Structures are given as C-alpha cells and as structure tokens.
Amino acid sequence: MARHRPAAEGGYQRGEETRARIIEAALRLFGAHGFDGASTRDIAREAGVNAPALQYYFDNKEGVYLACIDCFVERVWTVLEDVVGAAEGVVARADAADAELVDAYLALQARFSSFLYERPDDDHWRQLMARERAGQGPAAAFERIDSGINRRVFAVTSSIIGRLTGRPATDEETRIRTIVIDSQTTALKLMRRHVVAALGWETFGLRETGRVHEVIQNQTRILLEGLVAQRGPARRGR
C-alpha cells in the first residue's frame, strides 16, 4: 500500500499539498493515457516535482494510481452520502409504498447524474473511470471502487428493484435488471462523443446536460413503474 507522508523539509501541510498536486497531475495523465501510458517521469514533470518524490509518497506508479482511486471514492461520497442514506432508510421500511421506492431511486439517480454531468472539471475523472471500467487499471483499483462505492450503492438499488418486482434483491434477474437500469446514466457520459455525433450537437454543455438528465429520469420512472405493473395486482399498491 502507498505510504502517506508529509515532506520532511517542509512539514505536514507542505507535504499534503505536494501529495495532492501529484494526485491531480496523475489523474490528468492516467485519464488521457491510461495506467500503462502514463509514466512516473511524466507525472512528476506534470506535478512540478522530482521523480523520487513519487516514490517517497506513493512507493510506485500503482501507488499513485490507487491514491487517485481513493480520492475519487472520497469525492463520490461527499456527493452521494445523504441521498444513499435516505434511500436506505426507505428500503428499511417494510411498509414503504411503491411510489416512495421509485422516488428514492430517482433521487439517487439524479444526484449521481449531477455529479457526472454538471462539473466540467470532472472530465479527467470521467476519462479515468472510463478506462477503469474497461479493465485498464491494476486489479487492486477495481476492488477499492467496488468495496468503496459499488457494493453499498448496488445493495440499495437492487433492493429497490427487488421490492418493485416482488423478487429478492439477491435474485439473478433482479441483479441483471439493476445493472441495466443503473448503467443508463454512466453509459451516456462515457459515450459522450457518440452522443454528440448521434444527436447532431456541437457540444455537451449545460443545455444538453439538462436534456439528457430530463430524458433519463423520465425513462427510468417509466421503467420502474412498468416493473410494478408487471408484478401483478396481488402485490401492487403497497
């Protein structure tokens, strides 16, 4: 595991600033060139430090990469913590109505969508995550994302889908449906160039972002309410 140390000559604050600068430089290069394409020398140059500084703070290139992943996980939870907690609260109630479950899912989706779409400074994170999802990073990175974000979020979204369909959250069909529905928001972000070309847009700015968000939310509501209708009258309307 990468070490976390302040610079001896400058004290803790200066060490933290240097470490953060290296991480910011690394995420830009990892996003642009991938784990294999970004060298420690390039990262050091981009961060304005000498190459031994990377070894001092992170041991090696994988340590820098994992630090970027840890930073991403922390950043996600500053945005999602309250809405995920609220959804968990709804799921924990056995008497929660279908409409409450649908609204809880849509609120979580909306918050995640705003995190992905409405911050132009997140492009480097988007590129890094696209590469990570394609399996281009170290195996340890997936485990950190899975344990740090995916498992908790998937537990609540699969529980909602399971309740709406009348099937267990652990059921294979429930999990497949959840993965498909959960993936809508991320898919369009990762397919940014295709979306712009297919829709004849010149850019993917605030107006376009708002339109995508509006359609995804509407489509998801239709899907979720359709699952309730498909469940049948015997279990509907709780």
- The answer to whether residues 164 and 98 touch, using CB atoms and an 8 Å cutoff, is yes
pTM for this entry? 0.83
Residue 119 confidence (pLDDT)? 57
Residue 236 confidence (pLDDT)? 45
- Both 44 and 109 in a single domain? no
- Both 143 and 33 in a single domain? no
Query: Token pair for residue 172?
Result: 């294979």
- Both 101 and 206 in a single domain? yes
Mean pLDDT of all residues in the chain?
86
- Asked whether residue 160 is assigned to any structural domain, the reply reads yes
Spatial distance between the Cα atoms of 204 and 28, rounded to a whole number of angstroms: 20
- Asked whether residue 5 is assigned to any structural domain, the reply reads no
Q: Does 118 score more than 60 pLDDT?
A: no
Q: What is the dihedral of CA 34, 39, 45, 50, to 10 degrees?
A: 140
Render pLDDT for 14-52 as a digit per residue (tens, 0 to 9): 778 899 999 999 989 998 898 999 999 999 999 999 988
Render pLDDT for 53-84 as a digit per residue (tens, 0 to 9): 888 999 999 999 999 999 989 988 999 999 99
- Both 111 and 179 in a single domain? yes
Containing domain of residue 48, as a range? 11-61
- Both 128 and 183 in a single domain? yes
Render pLDDT for 160-213 as a digit per residue (tens, 0 to 9): 999 999 999 999 999 999 999 999 887 777 777 888 899 999 987 778 888 888
As for how many domains the chain has, the answer is 2
Residue 1 confidence (pLDDT)? 45
- Both 221 and 176 in a single domain? yes
Query: How many CB atoms neighbour CB 202 within 10 A?
Result: 7
- Asked whether residue 43 is assigned to any structural domain, the reply reads yes
Distance of CA 129 to the CA centre of its chain: 8
- Asked whether residue 80 is assigned to any structural domain, the reply reads yes
- Both 152 and 224 in a single domain? yes
CATH number, domain containing residue 21: 1.10.10.60
- The answer to whether residues 22 and 64 touch, using CB atoms and an 8 Å cutoff, is yes
